Structure 1
Amino acid sequence: MSEELKTIKELADELGVNKQNVQYHIKSLPNKERLKNEKGIILLTIDEQNFIRAKILKVSTDKVLADKVSTDKISTDKVTTDKVTTDKISTDKISTDKVTTDKENNFLIEKIKIQEEQIRDLKEQRRNGKEQLDIKDSQIAQMQNLLDQQQRLALQDKKLLEEYKSEINELKSLKMPQEDKKENQSQEEVQTIKKQMEALNDKIKGQEQLNNQVSKKWYQFWK
């Protein structure tokens, strides 16, 4: 078990009181939530121990002083006893109150330190959240740029395809060489037309490959 944490019984044994006495003062702790070990036994932190210790020591001191005043009144002269007892009560009460006040102040100081750490953690979480938002905004801007690029490419593709189709139609509309021309001239013209058709088909395939590459980049961005 950690040296900083103690059970109710351990603290009661240390202070020489019963468990019920410690449990009574636990109700006065500012924090109502209790730490527990794996067996469900309540564990008290150093701040809680100091708080309860101060309460019990004050009660014990007051009781001892009351008993002493009663004994002195019986065994000595009333006037002398009253004066001595009054002076001692005042001195002891000041000393006890000072000890109690110091321990309560220490408890408050520790509590303030914990709150300051919580505030620093919240500020750090806020900074991290802002960085994540900045990253998300950057990703959205990149996505918009890719979308604009894809739209421009789509328009260019559409325009090129229309031009290719127009050229193909023009080639198809060309009249084949007349029968009265020489056979070798007809073959040359046919070959020329075939080459032009193949060139146009290559352009169309190249444009389709470019579109596929842009689509893959878009898919990888969202993946």
Structure 2
Amino acid sequence: MSDNLKTIRELADELGVSKQAIQYHIKSLTNKIRQTNDKGIVVLSVDEQHFIRGKVDKQTNKTETNKQTNRRQTDKQKEWDINQYLRSEIEEIKKNRDKQLAVKDKQLENKDSQISQMQNLLDQQQRLALQDKKMLEEYKSEIKELKSLNIPKQGSEKDDSIQKENSVENVVKYPRKRNKKWWDFRR
């Protein structure tokens, strides 16, 4: 990690305040994931250090000593401007927003193509259903035609009964010859 990164304790010792005071000022920073060192301890970037230093200097302005006054005068050349910190945060947010928008645009394009494919499939399904319906109607009409051909008319019932009687008379007149088998002893 960089030498510019400091832990909360190091910054508190440097500014002469408690760790709780530093943590209080960290809360006013934008909520983002904090960096940690190799031991898992939270470290503050240079921008965050300057921001907290400015907050602490404003609160301790009345009680500072001559040593701190001299240090602050030298720090004024490097003094952290809160506006600069906020601008850097805004730029970071803009970059993230642009990335998210690009991802959303790609997702929308994918969804549009999926919708058009679904519409094509729906159209095909409807066409096939219409074809099936037409074919079913044709089959029904063919079946009706076939049934009308097979159904005997009312006057033809008498003819059928006559044919049956004739067939019965034929059986009586011409009895069937029984098959003679070699085991049949009734002859």
TM-score range, shorter chain: 0.5 to 0.7
Q: Say whether residues 1:137 and 2:116 are aligned partners.
A: yes
Q: Classify 1:111/1:11 alpha carbon distance in 2 versus 1 (closer, same or farther; 3 Å).
A: farther
In structure 1, the partner of 2:170 is: none
In structure 2, the partner of 1:157 is: 136
Paired with 2:118 and 2:124, the residues of 1 have a C-alpha distance of: 10
Q: What TM-score do you get using the length of structure 2 for normalisation?
A: 0.53
Matched position secondary structure for 1:17: coil
Per-residue CA deviation, residues 81-115 of structure 1 (Å, 9 max, x unaligned), is xxxxxxxx8xx74x533312478636632541232
Give the conservation status (yes or no) of the 8 Å contact 1:58–1:100.
Answer: no
Per residue, is there more helix in 1 or in 2?
1
In structure 1, the partner of 2:145 is: 166
Opposite residue 108 of structure 1, the aligned amino acid is R
> Which protein is bigger by CA-based radius of gyration?
2
In the TM superposition, what is the alpha-carbon distance from 1:139 to its structure 2 partner? 0.9
In structure 2, the partner of 1:116 is: 95
Matched position secondary structure for 2:94: helix
Give the conservation status (yes or no) of the 8 Å contact 1:15–1:53.
Answer: yes
Q: Classify 1:169/1:6 alpha carbon distance in 2 versus 1 (closer, same or farther; 3 Å).
A: farther
Q: Higher mean Cα deviation, 127-136 or 12-21?
A: 12-21
Q: What TM-score do you get using the length of structure 1 for normalisation?
A: 0.46
Give the conservation status (yes or no) of the 8 Å contact 1:51–1:103.
Answer: yes
Per-residue CA deviation, residues 155-187 of structure 1 (Å, 9 max, x unaligned), is 2221222123202321344879995xxx9xxxx
Give the conservation status (yes or no) of the 8 Å contact 1:58–1:96.
Answer: no
In the TM superposition, what is the alpha-carbon distance from 1:24 to its structure 2 partner? 5.2
Unaligned runs of 5+ in 2: 35-41, 168-187
Correspondence list, 1:188-203, <5 A: none
Q: Classify 1:155/1:59 alpha carbon distance in 2 versus 1 (closer, same or farther; 3 Å).
A: same
In the TM superposition, what is the alpha-carbon distance from 1:118 to its structure 2 partner? 2.4
Give the conservation status (yes or no) of the 8 Å contact 2:51–2:85.
Answer: no
Give the conservation status (yes or no) of the 8 Å contact 1:12–1:22.
Answer: yes
Tell me the matched-pair count. Answer: 148
In the TM superposition, what is the alpha-carbon distance from 1:132 to its structure 2 partner? 1.4
Unaligned runs of 5+ in 1: 37-42, 71-88, 184-223
Correspondence list, 1:61-76, <5 A: 67=66
Instruction: Percent identity, please.
Output: 23
